[in-house]
Amino acid sequence: MSRDAQKTLFHPFETGELMAPGAGSEVLFLGAEPGFRLPEGFAARLSLVQGFRPFFRSLRASGHQVGPIAGEGRYSQALVLAGRHRGRNEAQLADAIERTVAGGLVLVAGSKDDGIGSLRKRVAGLVEIDGMSPKYHGLAFWFLRPAEAGSLISALREGNLGGLVDERFFAAPGMFSHDRIDAGSRLLARCLPGDMTGRVADFCAGWGYLAAELADRARGIKGLDLYEADYESLEAARRNLGASTLPARFYWHDLLEEPVTERYDLIVMNPPFHQGRAAEPGIGQRLIGVAAKSLRKGGRLLLVANRQLPYEQILRGEFEGFEETARDESFKVLMARR
């Protein structure tokens, strides 16, 4: 759907409802994803923002100027591709407004399935909307950045910049399980072995809950590496482990496409199994394969998964042995030895 939403975003320029920015213009594009096509006459210099590592790498490989967060520059226009997470959408929109010059165009688009209609209503209650364009099962809307935008920016950021989970861990909207400790991760934490030694890694580390649990039990651990594809989540993990004395390294990393050069004695993992809305167990299966190659001989993988996910076959093929160490009504914990 996001590919269609990008078509929705540029549609007002295609139809002439909006004039495409010419050469010499600087345009910020937050939430950009690979595969978009600029309309005829769109000659502005684009600065893209994308914090999901696979999309970031694809955009950079296509020759775009892209970073994981918005810089401090000011732009003549801003484009925002809205996703599924309301809080992150509003925070990104606030970033766009803050970095756009007074009177500059701010154009927002998203899929109807992802709640773009609700976002438009929210924004319309804060600033006058100048136009709308429904297309490709999505909606684009736009407005001009007010000269005095402080209250607008504050309203969009309110409640969306993150807070503490369990009065300890910082997390923000858009991150996996940003408002609670995920039940699967909590079950996995209860199963951490008491004899952990050597170098340990947390694959798909999120905002760092499992890594923090490892650090709390770090008597035999020499070092801890965190791998995470979402930039903001990794920065939250860095913050959440800031008080730990365990040496930790943080990798903004696409585990499925970028090699892991270190070898570990233990890897823990709560792998994702969605790309968009549909379940894709193949993601977890591929990550298990990556983990197997990243372990030393005799090293262990400890992972949690939804009970119905078919991971046992690949564990049987990649490891010398494995066992199920815990199960509840929703999740199972699997331990495998290389």
Final residue before a domain boundary, out of 157, 192, 222: 157
In a shared domain, residues 52 and 168: no
Domain that holds residue 103: 2-157
Same domain, yes or no: 266 and 234 = yes
pLDDT of 12 over the 50 cut: yes
What type of residue is 162?
G
Alpha helices in 80-182 (DSSP H): 86-98, 116-124, 150-157
Q: With a cut of 70, say whether residue 278 has pLDDT above it.
A: no
Interatomic CA distance for residues 228 and 62, integer angstroms = 23
The number of folded domains in the chain is 2
Report whether pLDDT(274) > 80. no
Same domain, 144 and 174: no
Domain boundary among 91, 122, 157: 157
Tokens of 119: 């976002």
In a shared domain, residues 127 and 273: no
**Residue 68 predicted with pLDDT over 80:** yes
For CA atoms 276, 282, 286, 289, the dihedral sign is positive
Residue 85 carries which DSSP code?
A: -
Rg, the chain, Cα only? 22
Instruction: Please list, in sequence order, all residues whose beta carbon lies within 8 angstroms of the beta carbon of residue 259, skipping any fewer than 6 positions away.
Output: none
Contacts for 117 with CB less than 8 Å, ≥ 6 apart: 139
Taking the CB of residue 240, how many other CB atoms lie within 10 A of it? Answer: 23
pLDDT digits (tens, 9 = 90+) for 30-58: 999 999 999 999 999 999 999 999 999 99
Identify whether residues 101 and 183 lie together within a single domain.
Answer: no
Output the CA–CA distances (angstroms, integers) from residue 215 to 44, 54, 186, 198, 225, in the order listed: 47, 28, 15, 13, 11
**198 and 76 in a common domain:** no
pTM of the model: 0.94
Q: Are residues 278 and 319 in the same domain?
A: yes
227 and 328 part of one domain: yes
Counting residues of the chain whose pLDDT is more than 70, the rounded percentage is 97
Domain boundary among 157, 191, 207: 157
Say if residue 299 is in the same domain as residue 224. yes
Looking at the fold, whether 193 and 104 belong to one and the same domain comes out as no
pLDDT digits (tens, 9 = 90+) for 216-263: 988 899 999 999 999 999 999 999 999 898 999 999 999 999 999 999
Does pLDDT of 283 surpass 60? yes
What tokens does 185 get?
A: 């991760």
Domain shared by 19 and 143, yes or no: yes
Q: Is 125 within 8 Å of 96 (Cβ atoms)?
A: no
Q: Which residue has the tokens 């040496």?
A: 247
202 and 317 both lie in a single domain: yes
Torsion, CA 163, CA 168, CA 171, CA 175, rounded to 10: -140
Task: State yes or no: pLDDT of 276 exceeds 80.
Answer: no
- What are 164-218's pLDDT values in tens digits? 999 999 999 999 999 999 999 999 999 999 899 999 999 999 999 999 999 998 8
CATH code for the domain in which residue 310 is found: 3.40.50.150
The torsion angles phi and psi of 271, rounded to 5 degrees, stand at -75, 145
Q: Are 106 and 144 in contact (CB under 8 A)?
A: yes
